[in-house]
Amino acid sequence: MPTIIVVAVLVIALVIFSGIYTDFLWFNQLGYSEVFLREKLARLLIFVTAFLIMAVSVYFSIRVAYRARPVYAPDNQRDDNLNRYQVQLEPVRRVVMIGVPVVFGLFAGTAAMAQWEKVLLFIYRVPFGQKDPQFGFDISFYTNTLPFLGFVMGLLISVTVISFIVGLLTHYLYGAIRLTERGIFTSRQSQIHLAVMAAVFLVLLGINFWLDRYTTLQNNGGYRAGAMFTDVNAVIPTKAILAVAAVIVAILFIVAAFIGKWKLPLIGTGMLLVTAIVAGGIYPWAVQQLQVVPSQQSLESQYIGRNIDMTRQAYGLAGMEVTPYNATTTATPGALRADADTTANIRLLDPNLVSSTFAQLEQFRPYYEFPKTLNVDRYTIDGQVQDAVIAVRELNPQGINPDQQSWYNQHLVYTHGYGVVAAKANTVTSDGKPDFIQSGVPSTGLLGTDTSYQPRIYFGQSTTDYSIVGAPTGTPNVELDRPQGTTTSTDASAAGESLTTFTGNGGPSLGNWFNRVMYAMKFQSSDLLLTNGVNDKSQILYDRTPEERVAKVAPYLTIDGNPYPAIVDGKVKWIVDGYTTSSYYPYSQQQQLQEATTDSLTTSSGSGALAPASVNYIRNSVKATVDAYDGSVDLYAWDTEDPILKSWEKIFPTSIKPYSEMSGDLMSHVRYPEDLFKVQRELMGQYHVTDPGKFYNNTLAWSVPDDPTTTAVDKQPPYYQSLKMPGKDKTAFSLTTDFIPQQVKNTDSRNILYGFMAANGDAGNVKGVKSPDYGKLQLLELPDATQVPGPGQVQNTFQSDPSVSEQLNVLKLGQSDVINGNLLTLPMGGGVLYVQPVYVKSTGSTSYPTLQRVLVAFGNKIGYAATLNDALDQLFGGDSGAQAGDANVQKAPGTSGSSTEGTTPASTNPALAKALSDANQALADGQAALAKGDFAAYGVAQKALQAAITAAIAAEGAASAATPSATPSATPSPAP
């Protein structure tokens, strides 16, 4: 039996060692061994400290109680039982006296070790340079010092309570405390021991009461976060009283322990309990109910103002530029002339819909895949900034032929994806497909070739399994590189697939047997140990997603849910935003990150939202990059004024680089982070109001609108787009969102536009120089009297307009699906322009959406055409005054649309009406034939349906060509 136990302990120790050793290899290979070692050292020191405090205290409590045991002859049955227990315990007494403290010490050390961040932030704290409005302390006292003191007090109180309990039990076991017929007998030594322990507990309790005065500024239980009227005038004073009372009672216990009279400390304890109930509970409740509630607005006004100011500071909203925007609702000819740059950049390609389009046109092999949601970035092409929808062709392990999914293939052959695919965001081809600027295998396009940038993707969002790569020079290539042939054979060489060998420094070495054994244990794989595919140059790649890698090398950061790829300096880099957060900022409103960052896009994709955590301070403090080829990670200190980041820079001085080292190419691809923007917009629903009285009345509160393009009730996601905001002199790549009146459940609220917010995401393109405009927030406030339709109203108008519905029905013929793309809001032409691409997806497993129509709206008027340029011209009286990005796209005949005042409905177009009728009849005949199993008749019906569709499209086109564009007249705005 002992042998089995020893073997089991050794195996467990070896497994633990393999985890620690392989982690060190991973960090060391990336150049972040400092982070690994300092974190582990900090955890170890905290563990040892907490362990010793707990274990030593418990040991001495037991020891003191044991030494104070009385010596007497048992005189009753109960004492006989205790004596029996003592006799049974005596052989193992020394083991128990050491073992019990050790067990409690292990628990305490393990719990304390998890608080390493609080300890380090306290030791390396950096002042904020701002003071709280109640006590006048620097904010760092609340974010760095107070959490640490709370942790220490919690530990010491736990130690005291446990030490008191084990001491009490030891006294009882050895007879220093006995239950007798006259009551409870306690020896003099036990009285002193327990009295001292009680006094220590009361002193600690008093300190805790005193610290609670300051934690009221972090309170979230009142009307708003922070110390409100009741806290300031009732809770804070009573906490001070309780602190003093606890210390006085502690002194009484010490005095009583030596004079042997317990009446005063017992009375004091009773009074302390009564005071805690009355002063700590009843009195604040009475103040709240009898004084505050009847006059809450006036009494809380000062403290609401504090909450507004501190919340806006904590979330980076204090410097927001607020611009009144008296938007017109009348579409006049030439209205977009002053917004020509924005018009040319209006995004038509919806990154949330075209993943399957990219896949069908650019995937090439089933072992490649594109993410469900693509990304929007911008590139300078021929001196012009071009917005682009971009993705990388990542490895899809599930796409490997099941017959080929051997361990060898999965980990040594299929190791990486290949190439960047990008398309212009503001236009499509004549048949509605993406207009690619980078595509193909080998990779070619305006962004480079596979000789000008490294196209191989070893690290990506879908790359979650480990791979073994690398070999000595001259060794035959093993890794499948990219397709070359057209055959469908599963054999790589037969299919004309090229092979390659990884040549970078991407992972820890497997070149020696010890490392192989350690990694075989880590991944629980005997194949890794026994395979002949490992050589002295082999490396193992794991933890390969950008989020994982940044989170491991910067464990103090919260990672944005949407890393995005960019071609930077000849490499594909994943750009990852990292946040420093705190939940201890005084007077700042708490936000639940997962709730704030969830919208219709994250709901549909199942990813992207942040993990559930509550914070009341956030900064985009770090920009990180992960090389898609070798996985190297670079951290750049982006917010140089963030005191929390400064603390972490002192803790890990070599891990974070200054942003002055960022290349100009990298700077040009930085954008404003989505998750930070989502958190900020959630708060702006209320915190755009800075007057405490109006804030309390809540009459001006806003909500983020639900996404009108989905059936589920989820928030509309923010959108990246290049636009020139009103009052600005240049176009900026911005992240934008809408605001409508506050939505209340189970009520019908108006869906009109009240606000529009944009964050400037252009950092410039000069090495190490950040544009002063980057990160600036601008809020357009629309007057209540201007009834500008909101996204929901606009979408409803699009769907209910008879002429639009009639023409969309033509696209639906043949059981095709018509899919509404994202509804973009743009402050242009002195008003608000809405643009929505309309996609058509045919039936079949290989079908994909193509852009076929564009819907636009301005005020109460809508336009509808095959191109955005035509739709805008229709909307603005035949001449919008500017050209859209698809102005040169020539759509096939019969694909033009119309404005709401220029349509020719089927009722006045006999040819179109007849074609639609024939199509409906053909559909009915086809379904009837299928029901009977008459496939010959079904084929005839399908031919008739195709003929009817052709006729309908031709009739629509002829009618549109014959109908001149109407000049929209001024019409009243829609009633909310």
Report strand pairing: 591-592 vs 614-615. Answer: antiparallel
Cα gap 435→449, rounded to integer Å: 17
Instruction: Please give the pLDDT value at position 485.
Output: 54
- Cis peptide bond upstream of 442, omega within 30: yes
Confidence of residue 809 (pLDDT cuts 50, 70, 90): confident
- Residue 685 confidence (pLDDT): 93
Most confident of 3-17, 856-870, 903-917: 856-870
Planar angle of CA 95, 97, 100, nearest 5 degrees: 95
Residue 725 confidence (pLDDT) above 80: yes
Mean pLDDT of 595-619: 89
DSSP for 781-842, please give it: E--TTS--B-HHHHHHHHHH-HHHHHHHHHHHTTTPEEEE---EEEEETTEEEEEEEEEEE-
pLDDT at position 778, please? 97
Residue 86, pLDDT > 70, answer no
Give pLDDT tens digits for 884-899: 999 988 875 444 444 4
C-beta separation of 663 from 625 below 8 A: no
**b or e along 840-862 (b: 16 or more beta carbons within 10 Å of the residue's beta carbon)?**
bbeeeeeebbbbbbbbbbbbbbb
The tokens for 805 are 């519905």
**What pLDDT, on the 0 to 100 scale, is given for residue 9?**
85
The tens digit of pLDDT for each residue in 246-286 reads 999 999 998 888 787 788 888 888 988 998 998 888 999 99
- pLDDT band at residue 222 under the 50/70/90 scheme: confident
Band of pLDDT at residue 837, cut at 50, 70 and 90: very high
Helices 296-314 and 674-687: angle between axes, nearest 10 degrees: 160
Q: Which two tokens stand for residue 410?
A: 């999965």
Q: What is the pLDDT of residues 618-651, one digit of tens each?
A: 999 999 999 999 999 999 999 999 999 999 999 9
Of residues 656, 636, 641, 650, the one with CA closest to residue 575: 636
DSSP-H helix ranges across 131-187: 139-140, 146-173
Beta-ladder partners of 57? none
Report pLDDT digits (tens) over 727-775: 998 999 999 999 999 987 767 777 899 999 999 999 999 999 999 999 9
> Which residues 6+ apart lie within 8 Å of 568 measured at CB?
625, 663, 665, 666, 669
The answer on pLDDT for 82 being more than 70 is no
- Give Rg (Cα) of the chain: 35
Instruction: Please tell me the predicted confidence (pLDDT) of residue 320.
Output: 94
Contact criterion met (CB below 8 Å) for 588 and 311: yes
- Model confidence pLDDT, tens digit, residues 565-588: 999 999 999 999 999 999 999 999
Average pLDDT over residues 283-294: 92
- So what's the pLDDT on residue 745? 74
The residue type found at 467 is S
- Please tell me the distance from the alpha carbon of residue 105 to that of residue 100, in angstroms, as a whole number: 8
pLDDT the model gives residue 743: 83
Write down the pLDDT at residue 932. Answer: 67
What one-character-per-residue DSSP string does 518-578 give? HHHHHTT-HHHHH-SS--TT-EEE-S-SHHHHHHHH-TTSEEPS--EEEEETTEEEEEEEE
Q: Which two tokens stand for residue 255?
A: 């005095």
Closest CA to 814 of 841, 848, 846: 841
pLDDT at site 80: 59
Tell me, what amino acid is at 323? T
Which residues are within 8 A (CB) of 435 and not within 5 positions of it... i.e. 6 or more apart?
423, 424, 427, 428, 429
Q: What does the pLDDT read at residue 835?
A: 97
CB 74 within 8 A of CB 80: yes
**CA dist., res. 145 & res. 122, Å (int):** 5
Q: How far apart are CA 576 and CA 601, in angstroms?
A: 19
Q: Is 590 left (phi over 0), alpha (psi -120 to 50) or beta?
A: beta
- Give CA separation, 283 vs 212, 290, 292, 923, in Å: 17, 10, 13, 76
- pLDDT at residue 84 in the model: 67
Residue with the larger pLDDT of the pair 172 and 420: 420
Lowest-pLDDT choice from 177-191, 394-408, 467-481, 758-772: 177-191
Confidence at residue 960, expressed as pLDDT on a 0 to 100 scale = 46
Q: What pLDDT shows up at residue 954?
A: 67
In which residue are the tokens 């400390």 written?
265
What average pLDDT is seen over the chain?
A: 88
Give 920-948 pLDDT, tens digit per residue: 677 667 666 666 667 677 677 777 777 77
Position 969 scores a pLDDT of 34
Instruction: Check residue 968 and give its pLDDT.
Output: 37
pLDDT band at 964 (very low <50, low <70, confident <90, very high): very low
Distances (CA, A) of 312 to 146, 307, 318, 686, 689: 22, 8, 5, 11, 11
Q: Is residue 47 pLDDT above 90, yes or no?
A: yes
**pLDDT score, position 895:** 44
Query: What is the per-residue pLDDT for 943?
Result: 75
**What number of other Cβ atoms are within 10 A of residue 455's Cβ?**
27
Phi-psi region of 382 (alpha: psi -120 to 50; beta: other; left: phi over 0): left
Of the pLDDT bands very low, low, confident and very high (cuts 50, 70, 90), residue 454 is very high
Residue-level pLDDT at 958: 55
pLDDT at 177 over 80: no
Task: Give the strand pairing for 719-723 and 732-741.
Answer: antiparallel
- Model confidence over 482-537: pLDDT tens digits? 887 544 444 444 456 899 999 999 999 999 999 999 999 999 999 999 999 999 99
* Number of residues assigned to the chain: 976
DSSP secondary structure of 272-303: HHHHHHIIIIIHHHHIIIIIIGGGHHHHHHHH
Q: What is the pLDDT of residues 487-502, one digit of tens each?
A: 444 444 445 689 999 9
